[in-house]
Chains A and B, each alone.
Chain A
């Protein structure tokens, strides 16, 4: 069974940093591209970042470029999101997701971790 478990969320002051983790199990993590998607309270879904299986290809939405860094450790079956210079508008539940192939839809989602910037 595919499982994605996010952790690392919490309350942080504006300008602060936080590192999110996503522990993957139930599949061969090293062969799948992964994503971070966020959802502000009461709002819709917003794609944040993607990383290919080998970390060769990395993409970000414009609003987080230069502040967020996506990475992965295939030996540890883990995905990360380092978030620096946090702003109030970064407040959201952050989901990790496994996509099919490269540059496609998200087939499996974690349960999310809440980041509050205040």
Chain B
């Protein structure tokens, strides 16, 4: 099992450019989520999904879109990058049963710089 695979590991964008951060898991997890990690702050939830076709907003969703067309994939889209989106992004997944989740499995992160 590869676990949770995130690509790319590093990315530099100019303000206004768009890009998609990829996240894939091979554990048949229902729950997938995206977080950003900024210096001095805890991880913050951007968007999450509890299954194919179902997504919802987290604490800091503005400027980001997601979709979940398959159980395996949960891409995060930045439509028009801003310097405030410079951060390290993590994708995570877990089993989800009746509102309860199992321990999270994290990807290795994507370091994004917006100039």
Are A and B physically bound partners?
no
| B interface, CB within 8 angstroms of A | none
